[in-house]
Amino acid sequence: MSTHTATADQPGSDDNKYQIYVQIAMLLAVITGVEIVGIFLPFAKWLVVTALVILSVVKFLFVIFYFMHLRWDKPFCTILFFIGLVLATGTTWALLEIFNAHDSIPLSALTN
């Protein structure tokens, strides 16, 4: 006779998932607090921006893998999500490059 214990990776362990959701929500709140406090610390601007970007990426990954359920979905769904993310990022970057601030200056201001 084998005993079977439910883990958070198994679909039948709803109680464990809810505990994980609450823990991750608390972690996200702490990271957000660190980001807010970090803005006001007297460090070099490049260091603050780098830290904020890293913390934002960590928060993004927690949200997509847990709250969007990608951790428990098939790998194909995760691949589709990241393909869409890459396409959206590339499109946004291209549009920002096409319509940058220099292109918004009227021609009369450039000739003066």
Measure the CA–CA gap between 69 and 62, rounded to whole angstroms: 10
The single-letter DSSP state of residue 7 is -
Cβ atoms of 70 and 78 closer than 8 Å:
yes
**Sequential DSSP letters for 24-89:** HHHHHHHHHHHHHHHHTS-S-HHHHHHHHHHHHHHHHHHIIIIIT-TTTS-HHHHHHHHHHHHHHH
pTM tops 0.85, yes or no: no
pLDDT in tens, the chain (112 residues): 445 555 555 555 677 878 988 999 999 999 999 999 999 999 999 999 999 999 999 999 999 988 888 888 899 999 999 999 999 999 999 998 888 877 677 777 666 6
pLDDT value, residue 109: 64
pLDDT value, residue 1: 46
What single letter denotes the amino acid at residue 23? Q
